[in-house]
Structure 1
Amino acid sequence: MPCRGARPVFMVASTIQTAQNQIPAMLAHALPQRATVPPSAEGLKRQLTLTTALVMACHALLFWGLPNWWTQDHPDHPSESFITRMITPAPPVPAPPAEAPPPPPPPPRPSTADKPPPRPKPLPRQRPAPTATEKPQNRPPQEASPSEKTAPLPSLLVPRTGATFGGTALPEPIAPLLAEAEDVAARAQIKADGDAPAMVPSAGDLSYQVTGLSNGIAYNNGISTLTWRHDGISYDSKWYFYHVKIGEDTLRASGLITPQGLAPVTALQRTKADQSVRFDYSARRIRFTPGETDSELPAGGAWDRFSALIQLSALLAAAPERYPPGTAVRIALTGQGDVAPAAFAVEAEEPLAALNGKTLKTVRLVHRPTREGDPKIEVWLGPQIEYLPVRLRITQPNGDFAEHTVQQAVAVTVPFYQPPAQPSAPAAIAPAQ
């Protein structure tokens, strides 16, 4: 639609048409009314001049348009003019200055669903699974510690691999030590006496290098062996040591394996004077030979010197957090014809060189004698060999001592005892006819 005050093209055409229609009238007005007579030369000249002026005026009107008084408020042509405007293009928008690259977006915050699962609590110490050639031992259930916080170290007490030369005897089954009724009664009594959890070490053969002092003469070429045998129900083991300057010093013990650890039945100490001990759980007596003396079996049980070492191993293996440095393990220990309470003080952990060049973590326990004539006992238990002794040092009141340091440790499997088959009764012979 045309805007008000604009002069469209059709207005020019209308103006031309109006001029053409008005020219004759204007000519008729301008020319005098005369009779039709042939014009003279002068008259023709005036007519041509007038006509030329009119034509030029019409052309001027067409070119410059009608005056405002003609078109203003004309009934047929409203006062609208056509205005041509120059559109100035907008100045170009300057390019934005170069900006530094945006910083990398921050990493997304992990949602609750993306959080890693809580670290599982370490499981209580367990025995390594038997190899394919080993038969699992039918052990009574051992009470594990629910509050153990650290994972156990890998055990170095493993079966011997490869071929061996020499007459190494295979472990023999352990025959029952007590009659069935007496065995049941003894286990019930032991269960009522003790409540500390225990985990006995696996059966194994250990050899030790021995250095010491005897009558003021030092030696460093001794060898001792620990033959630790059990089938999970009973044990029969010994610690053997012999030296030409000292003689024999052998400890042997047999007894029952229970959830509370070791319950010795018989013990033998073979030195210059042999001594044997018998534990009678039904009568609650400990009987010594020679001398034929006896003592009361204390509540909580008692142990001979050899069984005491393995009992300490079983207690620390089952619950090491119960025995931090500064505490003491208290047990009843048999001596020369009697039994007395003994305390093994737990000291700081100590690394030791053992097993032919390895460094083993150990826990040192010390028993200081409370009676005249008793030896001082120091034992270093190694978690890496299931808390069996890594080192044992026994010091006599006169200063003589023997120190045993483990050089080899090999796990073995003890077969179960099979009772001999009863001979069948001979078939009756039919009487001759």
Structure 2
Amino acid sequence: MSGVQSGSRRWWLLGLVLGVVLVHAWLTWSMAALLKDMQTSESPGIKPMEATYLSELKLSDPPVLRPSPPLAKPGQPPRQQAAKAMAQAASTPEQPPPPAESESASEPEAALTVAEAASPAASPASADPILPVAESATASEPSQAPGPPFVWPVATRVSYKVRGYFRGEVHGSAKVEWVRQGLDYQVRVNAIVGPSFAPIGSWHLISAGTITPAGLSPKRFEQVDRLLIRTSLPRTVVFEEEQVVLDSGERVARQPNMQDASSQFIQLAYQFMMKPEALKPGNTIYLPLALPKRAETIAYDVVDEQVLDTPIGKVPTFHVKPRKLSAEGGVLPVEIWFAPGLQYLPVRILVHGKDGKSYMDMQMERAPEQTKTEADAARPTPSN
């Protein structure tokens, strides 16, 4: 009898050991597959530009666009670069009329188009060259307007705390970053829901392109999403001279001033600097977007002015909301609160989920960080 019990115990122990070995083997295989998936899916074709942040933005008068010489690329004389920029601006086709829904806008002329931008005028060179800017054709004398002159910064980062709802209350963090090298730029949007060491989900968007007198001209956009341990393949949008290649391979016409899901944040801010009067409740701004699944012109309504309580105090903002809140096109719709006193940066972003119930509310959690010029970027970071 004891022999039978001893044999049963041995078989039970053997089965337990085999079960543990199989579980460990499965976990090892799963982690290896996950790491491989992360490496293949989250390694974008766009190599991120590096940046060092040296200062914090403080509330001030809204920046003003003033004519100035362009910043030449290495090996190219500034005069040649300026001539090229002006030729591009002059050859830009006119903006097509807004969609039929624009008839309800209180001031249709508030639509911002590339055709409204004038080429930059020449002025004496400075120690920190200012990149080419475009003036609104209807703007008053920019040289007499209050506020500091706008200079495209080398790098800017806005950090957000995230709260929202996805099958329950969730929390996380997010960042919107702007980095440039000469006339080349990147706009990066990264959001994480859940703890950073074990996120429930994450979204990584990056746009790369060139700065022109009319603002940003994207060349490539990439997006990678993750939900639990499932990571999507990178979704891309490639901007050619006359066409845009969507993630499916479909080609669509490239509209003037067309942006992607990442560059739209900075382009809208730049357009508000071009034409501050557009930021008036009741006005509508039309912006062509090339999304992974489709291209369309989005109508952004300026809803109202709001003063937000933030870690740096009360910040006056303008609430801008897309008229269409569906999730079609591969990118979720966003409401944005722009702060003129913080270089028109988005200090709050509200993302709506596909089901109409889930959302992600990103609110600025500290002062925006910035490196303003190449000279600033070259200075060593002070040690504590």
TM-score range, shorter chain: 0.5 to 0.7
After superposition, the C-alpha distances for 1:48-106 in whole angstroms (9 at most, x for unaligned) are: xxxxxxxxxxxxxxxxxxxxxxxxxxxxxxxxxxxxxxxxxxxxxxxxxxxxxxxxxxx
Match of 1:366 in 2: 321
Match of 2:342 in 1: 385
8 Å CA contact 2:304–2:319 kept in 1: the answer is: yes
1:250 to 179, 204, 213: 204
1:230 aligns with 2:180: yes
SS in 1 for 2:324: coil
- Show the 5 A alignment for 1:110-259: 125-126=63-64, 139=70, 188=88, 192-193=92-93, 194-197=114-117, 202=153, 203-214=155-166, 216-220=167-171, 222-231=172-181, 233-244=183-194, 246-259=200-213
8 Å CA contact 1:191–1:260 kept in 2: the answer is: no
CA distance in 1, matches of 2:86, 2:245: 16
Match of 1:406 in 2: 364
SS in 2 for 1:230: strand
8 Å CA contact 1:231–1:414 kept in 2: the answer is: no
Distance 1:297 1:345, change over 3 A: same
Match of 2:38 in 1: none
1:315 to 245, 258, 271: 271
After superposition, the C-alpha distances for 1:322-367 in whole angstroms (9 at most, x for unaligned) are: 332111110111223321111100121100012x151101011001
Letter in 1 for 2:259: W
Q: CA deviation at 1:226?
A: 1.8
Distance 1:257 1:192, change over 3 A: same
1:275 aligns with 2:235: yes
8 Å CA contact 2:278–2:285 kept in 1: the answer is: no
- TM-score norm. by structure 1 comes to 0.50
Distance 1:276 1:336, change over 3 A: closer
CA distance in 1, matches of 2:252, 2:200: 31
RMSD: 3.6
Letter in 1 for 2:201: G
8 Å CA contact 1:368–1:377 kept in 2: the answer is: no
CA distance in 2, matches of 1:258, 1:413: 18
Q: CA deviation at 1:189?
A: 6.4
CA distance in 2, matches of 1:246, 1:224: 14
Letter in 2 for 1:395: H
After superposition, the C-alpha distances for 1:221-273 in whole angstroms (9 at most, x for unaligned) are: x1112221124622123111123454220110111111211111111111134
CA distance in 2, matches of 1:185, 1:125: 22
SS in 2 for 1:195: helix
Distance 1:196 1:404, change over 3 A: farther
Letter in 2 for 1:217: G
CA distance in 2, matches of 1:242, 1:124: 31
Distance 1:372 1:276, change over 3 A: closer
1:287 to 229, 232, 245: 245
Letter in 1 for 2:265: L
After superposition, the C-alpha distances for 1:307-331 in whole angstroms (9 at most, x for unaligned) are: 1111110011222113321111101
- Show the 5 A alignment for 1:46-85: none
Distance 1:313 1:343, change over 3 A: same
Q: CA deviation at 1:373?
A: 3.5
8 Å CA contact 1:377–1:392 kept in 2: the answer is: yes
8 Å CA contact 1:329–1:343 kept in 2: the answer is: yes
- Structure with greater contact order relative to length (CA < 8 Å, sep ≥ 6): 2
Q: CA deviation at 1:190?
A: 8.0
Q: CA deviation at 1:387?
A: 0.4
Q: Structure 1: which 5+ runs fail to align?
A: 1-122, 129-136, 142-172, 417-433
2:291 to 322, 325, 335: 335
8 Å CA contact 2:62–2:344 kept in 1: the answer is: no
May I ask how many residue pairs the two structures share in their alignment?
244
CA distance in 2, matches of 1:367, 1:287: 24
Q: CA deviation at 1:195?
A: 2.5
Q: CA deviation at 1:200?
A: 7.3
8 Å CA contact 2:325–2:352 kept in 1: the answer is: no
Letter in 2 for 1:297: R
- TM-score norm. by structure 2 comes to 0.56
Q: CA deviation at 1:368?
A: 3.0
8 Å CA contact 2:162–2:193 kept in 1: the answer is: no
8 Å CA contact 2:161–2:364 kept in 1: the answer is: yes
Match of 2:354 in 1: 397
The percentage of aligned residue pairs carrying the same residue is 21
